C-alpha cells in the first residue's frame, strides 16, 4: 500500500476542503472496502481524510422522513426500529450483506460507494477500463458468470455490489452530500451511473464531495417492502440475483410498485418497464410474468451469465407472490 | 500490505539496532533466531524506508495531515503509546508493535475473520481498519478475555467440544463467539451459523464450533 497522509477533522467543511484541494486525496469511514482496494493496488491515495469524527452518525425520524447519517453503521441502521417499521427492505438488505464484523464497521455512505467485485477490476495485473481507462475489459469474453446482463457497455459489464443501494432505490431515497460547491440532494436513481464510455466514473459525486446522509420518505409502499437475495452460499456472499420490491395494493390491484434489482446490472437497477406492467393491474402470475419479461427486454447475456435472465424472472415471480399474497 | 515489505527486508538487509528497537541485546546466532524475531526485526527495519519524517504533535484529533502519528491504543485495559504510519492496520499494530500475536493474520482482506477483535465491545476485523483510527476506544484481544486464573467460558467450551484442529482461526472464532453470545444471536444452530459466518475454518470444525458456542451461551446466560 502506498504511503499517505492522514487527518481526522471535526467539521464537514474542513474534511471537504482537505480532499478537494488534492487530486489523489480520499475519504475513509469504515474502510472495509477502501483498504482492500488499496492493499490490492486497485486504488491509491496520497492523503486519507478520516471522517469518523464528524457528527454524521445519527438515525432520526421526523416529518415523514427517516434521515440516516452517513456514518451510521450497517448494523445500527439494520436494527433501527424506524427502519424496521417504515422501510423493512433496507433492514433486510443490510442484514443479508457482508458479515457481522463488517456490519459493525462499514458506514452507510461508504456502502453506496463500494466498488465492484469484478475479479479483473480487483486484480491490478489485469486490464480494466474501470481501473485504467482504455486498457480493455477481459470480462466481455472472459470469466463473466457474475457479471451484468443489464446496463453494460462494450467497455464494462461489472456488477454494482451494494444490497443497500438496491433497497434504497426501491423506497425512493435521496442521497445528501456536501462538496466544494455546497450541499446537494441527489435522488438514488441519479446517484449511480451506467459505465457507457466512462466506466471509471460510477457516481454523480464530484471530487471532494462527501455523502452526509440518506433520506427515506416514510410511505405506505415503503412500509410494505421486502428484499430477496440469491447467492452461491447461504450467507456472507454477494448477490447473484437480488430483488427489492415495494408494493402498495388496493384490494387485488397494484396501486403503486417499485421493483429494483441487484446482481444483474452495472448500477442498482430500477425497471420502470416492469413496474408499468403491474401498475393499475391485478397482481397475478400472468401480470408478474409480463413484468419479468419487460425487465429483461434489453438484457445482453454473455457466455457464463445467461442463466441470470431466467433466474431474475423467477426470483421476481416468487418474491412478488410472497409480498402480494398471491398463491 | 506490510507482508511484502517485510520479506524484502528479510532478503536484502539486516535491520540495525537503531531501526529495530524491538530487538534487544546482541544479534542472536542463526540457530537461535525464532520466526517471530526475524519477522519483527525485518518489519521494524522496513517501516522507515521511504517515509518522510514528520511526526504529529499530540494535539488530537489530527486536524492537519500527518505522515507519522503518535497515538495511544488502549488494549485489554492498558494504554500503549506508539508512533505509526497511518497505513498500519490495527491488526499489524497489535501483532508487530504490541506483541499481541494471539490475533491472527489470515487473509488480510476481511474474509477469514482470524483477526477479529472487540472495539468498544463490538466485534470487528482488525485487518480492515487503521490503527490510527482507534484512539480513545477500548480494544479487546484474545489475550484480554480470560480472568486472571482460568479461561473465558467460550475458551473452555472450545476445548471441551474440540472446536478446532490447527488453531489458526481459533482466536478469531472465540472473539467472534464472545460477541455473538453478547448480541443474543445463539437461539438456534442455524442462527449461530449465520452470525458466525464471518469466521472461516479451513479445518472445517464448524459442527463442533456451533456446539461450543451453544455450550458457552448457556453458561454465560445462566
CB contact under 8 A, A100 and B183: yes
By CA distance, what is A39's nearest residue in B? B1
CA distances from B149 to A12, A81, B76, B152, B171 (A): 48, 41, 16, 10, 19
Lowest mean pLDDT among A84-98, A215-229, B33-47, B76-90: B33-47
Q: CB-based contacts of B11: which residues, under 8 Å, 6+ apart?
A: none
Cβ-defined contact of B87 to A4 (cutoff 8 Å): yes
Residue B48 has pLDDT above 80, yes or no: no
CATH classification at residue A257: 3.30.390.50
pLDDT at B29: 43
From chain B, the residues in CB contact with A100 under 8 A are 123, 176, 179-180, 183, 185, 195-198
Q: Does B86 touch chain A (CB under 8 A)?
A: yes
CB contact under 8 A, B63 and A9: yes
Contact flag B128-A5 (C-beta cutoff 8 Å): no
For A260-275, what is the mean pLDDT?
Answer: 98
* Count of domains forming chain A: 1
Rg (chain A; Cα; Å): 19
What stretches of B47-153 adopt beta strand conformation (E)?
69-75, 78-84, 116-119, 122-125, 138-140
Is the predicted pLDDT of residue A293 greater than 60, yes or no? yes
Measured between CB atoms, which of B1, B61, B198 is closest to A99? B198
Q: Given an 8 Å threshold on Cβ–Cβ distance, is A7 in contact with B65?
A: yes
- The predicted model gives B182-196 an average pLDDT of 98
Tell whether A231 lies on the interface with B, counting CB pairs under 8 A.
Answer: no
Q: Which chain B residues are closer than 8 Å to A36 by Cβ?
A: 109-110, 128
Quick one: average pLDDT of A226-240? 96
pLDDT above 60 for A155? yes
Residue with cell 537461535: B32
- Residue B61's nearest CA partner among B137, B3, B172 is B137
In a domain, A293, yes or no: yes
**Which chain B residues contact residue A1 at CB under 8 A?**
1, 87
pLDDT at B61 (0 to 100): 65
Out of B65, B122, B195, the one facing A18 most closely (by C-beta) is: B65
- The domain B69-144 having CATH identifier 3.40.50.150: the answer here is no
- Domain annotation covers residue A188: no
Domain that holds residue A313: 221-324
What the block records as the C-alpha cell of A214 is 440518506
Which candidate from A2, A18, A105 shows the least CB-CB separation from B129? A105
Do residue B198 and residue A102 have CB atoms under 8 angstroms apart?
yes
Predicted complex ipTM? 0.96
* Domain extents in chain B: 2-46, 69-144, 153-221
* CATH number for the domain whose boundaries are B153-221: 1.10.150.120
Whether A198 is covered by a domain: the verdict is: no
**Domain presence at residue A268:** yes
**A28/B130 CB distance under 8 A:** yes
Query: At B19, is the pLDDT very low, low, confident or very high (cuts 50, 70, 90)?
Result: very low
Phi, psi at B61, each rounded to 5°: -80, 180
B45 closest CA partner among B8, B79, B70: B8
Question: Chain A within 8 Å of B183 (Cβ-Cβ)?
Answer: yes
Partners of B110 on chain A (C-beta within 8 Å) are: 32, 36, 99, 101-102
In a domain, A99, yes or no: no
Same fold, B69-144 and B153-221: no
Quick check: A48 contacting B, CB < 8 Å?
yes
Q: What are the cell numbers at B72?
A: 495511544
User: Which percentage of chain B shows pLDDT scores above 90?
Assistant: 69
Q: How many residues are listed for chain B in this entry?
A: 222
CA distances from A178 to A16, A186, B174 (A): 8, 11, 41
* Domain assignment present for A44: no
Whether residue A130 lies inside any domain: the answer is: no
Are B44 and B18 in contact by the 8 Å Cβ rule? The answer is no
- Using a CB-CB cut-off of 8 Å, the residues of chain A touching B133 are 8, 28, 31, 50, 52
Query: Is A154 within a domain?
Result: no
Is residue B85 scored above 50 in pLDDT? yes
Selected residue with higher pLDDT from B26 and A249: A249
- Look at residue B222 in the predicted model and tell me its pLDDT: 67
Amino acid at each position: 500500500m502506498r504511503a499517505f497522509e492522514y487527518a481526522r477533522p471535526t467539521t464537514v467543511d474542513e474534511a471537504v476542503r482537505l480532499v478537494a484541494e488534492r487530486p489523489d486525496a480520499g475519504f475513509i469511514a469504515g474502510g472495509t472496502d477502501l483498504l482492500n482496494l488499496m492493499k490490492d493496488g486497485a486504488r491509491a491515495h496520497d492523503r486519507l481524510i478520516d471522517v469518523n469524527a464528524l457528527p454524521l452518525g445519527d438515525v432520526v425520524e421526523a416529518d415523514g422522513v427517516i434521515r440516516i447519517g452517513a456514518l451510521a453503521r450497517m448494523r445500527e441502521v439494520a436494527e433501527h426500529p424506524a427502519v424496521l417499521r417504515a422501510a423493512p427492505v433496507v433492514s433486510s438488505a443490510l442484514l443479508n450483506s457482508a458479515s457481522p464484523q463488517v456490519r459493525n464497521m462499514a458506514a452507510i455512505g461508504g456502502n453506496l460507494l463500494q466498488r465492484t467485485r469484478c475479479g479483473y477490476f480487483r486484480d491490478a495485473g489485469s486490464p480494466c477500463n474501470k481501473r485504467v481507462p482504455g486498457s480493455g475489459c477481459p470480462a466481455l469474453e472472459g470469466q463473466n458468470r457474475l457479471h451484468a446482463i443489464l446496463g453494460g457497455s462494450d467497455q464494462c459489464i461489472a456488477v454494482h455490489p451494494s444490497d443497500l443501494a438496491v433497497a434504497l432505490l426501491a423506497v425512493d431515497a435521496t442521497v445528501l452530500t456536501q462538496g466544494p460547491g455546497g450541499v446537494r440532494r441527489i435522488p438514488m436513481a441519479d446517484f449511480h451511473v451506467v459505465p457507457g464510455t466512462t466506466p471509471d466514473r460510477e457516481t454523480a459525486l464530484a471530487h471532494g464531495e462527501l455523502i452526509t446522509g440518506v433520506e427515506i420518505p416514510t410511505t405506505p409502499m415503503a412500509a410494505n417492502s421486502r428484499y430477496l437475495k440469491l447467492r452461491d452460499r447461504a450467507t456472507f456472499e454477494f448477490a447473484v440475483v437480488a430483488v427489492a420490491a415495494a408494493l402498495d395494493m388496493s384490494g387485488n390491484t397494484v396501486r403503486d410498485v417499485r421493483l429494483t434489482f441487484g446482481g444483474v446490472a452495472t448500477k442498482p437497477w430500477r425497471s420502470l418497464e416492469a413496474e408499468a406492467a403491474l401498475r393499475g393491474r391485478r397482481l397475478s402470475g400472468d401480470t408478474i410474468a409480463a413484468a419479468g419479461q419487460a425487465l429483461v427486454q434489453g438484457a445482453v447475456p454473455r457466455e457464463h451469465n445467461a442463466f441470470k435472465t431466467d433466474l431474475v424472472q423467477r426470483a421476481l415471480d416468487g418474491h412478488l407472490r410472497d409480498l402480494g399474497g398471491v398463491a | 500490505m506490510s507482508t511484502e515489505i517485510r520479506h524484502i527486508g528479510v532478503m536484502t538487509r539486516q535491520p540495525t539496532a537503531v531501526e529495530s528497537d524491538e530487538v534487544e541485546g546482541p544479534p542472536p546466532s542463526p540457530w537461535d533466531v525464532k520466526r517471530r524475531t526475524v519477522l519483527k526485526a525485518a518489519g521494524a527495519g522496513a517501516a522507515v524506508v521511504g517515509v518522510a519524517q514528520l511526526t504529529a504533535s499530540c494535539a488530537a484529533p489530527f486536524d492537519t495531515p500527518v505522515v507519522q502519528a503518535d497515538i495511544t491504543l488502549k488494549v485489554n485495559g492498558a494504554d500503549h503509546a506508539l508512533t505509526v504510519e497511518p497505513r498500519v492496520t490495527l491488526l499489524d499494530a497489535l501483532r508487530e508493535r504490541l506483541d499481541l500475536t494471539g490475533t491472527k493474520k489470515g487473509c488480510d482482506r476481511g474474509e477469514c475473520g482470524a483477526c477479529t477483535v472487540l472495539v468498544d465491545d463490538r466485534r470487528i476485523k482488525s485487518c480492515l481498519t487503521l490503527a490510527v483510527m482507534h484512539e480513545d476506544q477500548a480494544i479487546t484481544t484474545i489475550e484480554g478475555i480470560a480472568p486472571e486464573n482460568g479461561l473465558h467460558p467460550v475458551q473452555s467450551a472450545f476445548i471441551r467440544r474440540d472446536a478446532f484442529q490447527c488453531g489458526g482461526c481459533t482466536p478469531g472464532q472465540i472473539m467472534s463467539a464472545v460477541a455473538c453470545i453478547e448480541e443474543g444471536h445463539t437461539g438456534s444452530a442455524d442462527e449461530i451459523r449465520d452470525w458466525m459466518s464471518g469466521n472461516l475454518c479451513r479445518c472445517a470444525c464448524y459442527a463442533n464450533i456451533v456446539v461450543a458456542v451453544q455450550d458457552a451461551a448457556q453458561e454465560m446466560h445462566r
